[in-house]
Amino acid sequence: MKLFLTTNNLKLFSEKIMMNSSYVSYFTLAAYFDTELFKYLYFLLILSLYALIICANLLLIVVICMNRSLHEPMYLFLCSLFVNELFGSTWLFPFLLVQILSDIHTVSAPFCFIQIYCLNVYATMQFHNLAILSYDRYLAICYPLQYNTRMASNKVIVLVALTWLFPFIGVGVLVSLSAPLQLCGNIINKVYCNNYAVVKLACSDTRVNNIYGLINTCLEIFGPLSLILYTYIKILKVCYSGSKQTRQKAVSTCTPHLASLINFSCGSFFEILQSRFDMSSVPNMLRIFLSLYFLTCQPIFNPLIYGLQMSKIRSLCKSLIFGKT
């Protein structure tokens, strides 16, 4: 099978472009390979996944917004989660569809940084949403009689606003530090733009980027992770000393959240592994799959797990689709 873009050709082509200038006007995504007849099959698969994500998440958002019985903190946090998944998918899937059908896998530098910004915001916000959901379940299980007081409507609004505000600011600083860097190449060995891959191309000093990246990682990952661990330790203590009914309630409400958290953690681990370590020995197809899994696992998995597991959402979805009460 003949490759349109081999690694050697890409390197030679990049060196000619970058010989007399440190300014990069576009990036070449080197992880793509010639699929010939199969590219239309891949196009249909990605298009089907995108349609499934849009329909499933949009359905649940409409169900939550239209039914006053679901205007409770947990469902409002879930609505924020589903909106974020639509946001992230919109910045990935149309781009993938265009790249699959294209023979030259390039992207302009401004669009590349916009994509880096949006996809990083999506990933950070996803983790924050999961942390807020764990806190909500902690209050519902550990303080059932005080839940409405502790999780008042004003507090819900503040939590949702902070969940969306912090990622936009934190990732904005991260991208603003990467955009002015002088680069010695324009080849990104992925199927979409990645901030760490761009920083590795820099000829200039990247100490500020590395320091801020470390601080941002600690704040955006270990902060929510600490909250999640704390809430589940408290929930386990209550379940251990509580009644059978309390344990059943905890299992039924925490199972979808735990499944979503484990799924997202696995995708994040694969992405960090690929970004920080040399994965050249791993087959190219597997690397592409792991990269896409990080960004596609949640938008597909969450609507299914919450829609199937929670009877209230499931019954209202049936009513909306089939017109039955």
Residue 203 has pLDDT above 90, yes or no: no
Residue 221 DSSP class:
I
What average pLDDT does the chain have? 82
CATH of domain 7-316: 1.20.1070.10
Residue 158 has pLDDT above 90, yes or no: yes
Q: What is the mean pLDDT of residues 297-310?
A: 81
Q: What is the pLDDT of residue 230?
A: 93
Q: Where are the domains of the chain?
A: 7-316
Q: What is the mean pLDDT of residues 127-136?
A: 93
Q: Alpha-carbon dihedral of residues 104, 122, 199, 204, nearest 10 degrees? A: 120
Q: What is the pLDDT of residue 40?
A: 85
| Structure confidence by residue, pLDDT tens digits, 235-274 | 888 888 877 777 787 888 888 888 888 888 888 888 877 7
Q: What is the pLDDT of residue 304?
A: 84
Q: Where are the alpha helices (DSSP H) in 184-281?
A: 195-200, 207-217, 223-241, 244-276
Q: What is the pLDDT of residue 136?
A: 92
Which range, 108-117, 182-191, 313-322, is most confident?
108-117
Close Cβ partners of 290 (under 8 Å, ≥ 6 residues apart): 270, 271, 273, 274
Close Cβ partners of 117 (under 8 Å, ≥ 6 residues apart): 171, 172, 175
Residue 130 has pLDDT above 80, yes or no: yes
Residue 107 · residue 29 · CB < 8 Å:
yes
Q: What is the pLDDT of residue 157?
A: 92
Confidence bin at 296 (pLDDT 50/70/90)? confident
Q: What is the mean pLDDT of residues 303-318?
A: 72
Confidence bin at 51 (pLDDT 50/70/90)? very high
Q: What is the pLDDT of residue 314?
A: 67
Confidence bin at 21 (pLDDT 50/70/90)? very low
Residue 156 · residue 231 · CB < 8 Å:
no
* Residue 137 half-sphere exposure toward CB, CA atoms < 13 A: 31
How far apart are alpha carbons 224 and 309 in whole angstroms? 24
Q: What is the pLDDT of residue 4?
A: 38
Q: What is the pLDDT of residue 321?
A: 65
Q: What is the pLDDT of residue 16?
A: 41
Q: Alpha-carbon dihedral of residues 35, 271, 117, 10, nearest 10 degrees? A: -40
